[in-house]
Structure 1
């Protein structure tokens, strides 16, 4: 396939072919960093080549520029996605839409395609939460540290607290479990409060959509959640489909 979608986050880089029917193909992933992207790895190989590429990036400007340079060597046309006030039936709550992270914006587009009232929770470097009404109105959201980032921050300030390990317990009997329970529990509590507040605002209970690399760890604690691991790429496909300059 000649058209590709690329999602450069703060910790992972993903890509998928954009199918002629508007859907996305198999998702590929590479190590973070331009050198690793250029070399590829044993599981995914080098970056693909093709006719058109659409890119969403929340990474540092220097890494984004390196990625764009690599893609411009491989594609005839490279387009950067950007947040807009309105797109694909979504109307964002931000007075300055460009300040809404493009990953959150694209996840909203993907959620709009799912349909209904939804609370979108992205679990990556940050924990992001956004409320979207069935009519496409974005009611705003929250940003917090993800459980992984909480663990890393605690470890940096207190090296005796391990940065990973442990499992969720309601009342843990050792430090590693207590850390996992506290950090995962904080994220779950914020999501659950957002669900309650979302229902109060909309007058209906929103569905919960989870995406991001840290989502699988929280899924057992949020049994009502629906996993949508490719939500940002799905939103990017919608953005590309209405891109007037492509």
Structure 2
């Protein structure tokens, strides 16, 4: 009976076994939606069972509630993560911590754990439904970030307004020779340019250039455009492992019931 980590995003539902305080095992993923949560698509496998489940969700409340119900039927203990102003050495810039998406919060926890042995300064870029960018310095202080449409969302928005523009396809080129390649180049290039500007601004603010971590379902496509980046596709789940370890430590430090004979 093992502990599992679950991440319900805006487009995918992901899970991984928790191996250590910051490491996760092989990541499983299901398409988004109620049918996928119920394990109706056999090609993606059934939801695992175990002792404890740690979950994070940025999805709609109804889908989050369904996820929790399914996990409670498969695990002895289920805990849903909430963003905290301070955790695992990270201090958020947001005045209202709960306004920062839990996926961004968890990615910062993992990023700090990963970069502490090197520079400690890190720019975290998540490429999913949205493109999110966050700066964390070596002391653990979060300097805030940005939110923009991801390349995939840009393509979808263009297609919705102009159906003749395909919603997917094409290859990146600096000066494309057809419409599909031009769309891929424009949308991927816009995302990469925002990350590059954020890196420059981060270096000006900190006086040194931070490491760059990319995560999310669309991160791999941007990697050739950002050669300095390190790909960490499971960064949110890794952060969830860090959070779980912190929660366990806090439980261990709580005093037990008083000895009635003491």
Aligned to 1:199: 203
1:112 and 1:174 mapped to 2: Cα distance? 42
CA contact (8 A) 1:151 1:164 kept: yes
Over residues 31-59 of structure 1, what are the superposed CA-to-partner deviations in whole Å (9 max), with x where a residue is unaligned? Answer: 21122221253444211111111101001
2:153 and 2:22 mapped to 1: Cα distance? 34
Q: CA RMSD in A?
A: 1.3
Aligned length: 246
Over residues 68-98 of structure 1, what are the superposed CA-to-partner deviations in whole Å (9 max), with x where a residue is unaligned? Answer: 1111111111101111110000001000001
CA contact (8 A) 1:30 1:40 kept: no
Q: Secondary structure at the match of 1:39?
A: coil
Q: Secondary structure at the match of 1:229?
A: coil
Over residues 154-183 of structure 1, what are the superposed CA-to-partner deviations in whole Å (9 max), with x where a residue is unaligned? Answer: 000010111011111111111111111110
Q: Which stretches of structure 1, 4 residues or more, deviate above 3 A after TM superposition?
A: 40-44
Equivalent of 2:240 in 212, 236, 240: 236
Q: Which TM-score applies when normalising by structure 2?
A: 0.91
Pick which of 206-215 and 43-52 moved more.
Answer: 43-52
Q: Secondary structure at the match of 2:164?
A: coil
Aligned to 1:172: 176
Q: Which TM-score applies when normalising by structure 1?
A: 0.97
Could you tell me which runs of 5 or more consecutive residues in structure 2 were left unpaired when the two chains were aligned: 253-262
CA contact (8 A) 1:127 1:144 kept: yes
Could you tell me which runs of 5 or more consecutive residues in structure 1 were left unpaired when the two chains were aligned: none
Aligned to 1:126: 130
1:34 and 1:219 mapped to 2: Cα distance? 31
Q: Secondary structure at the match of 2:201?
A: helix
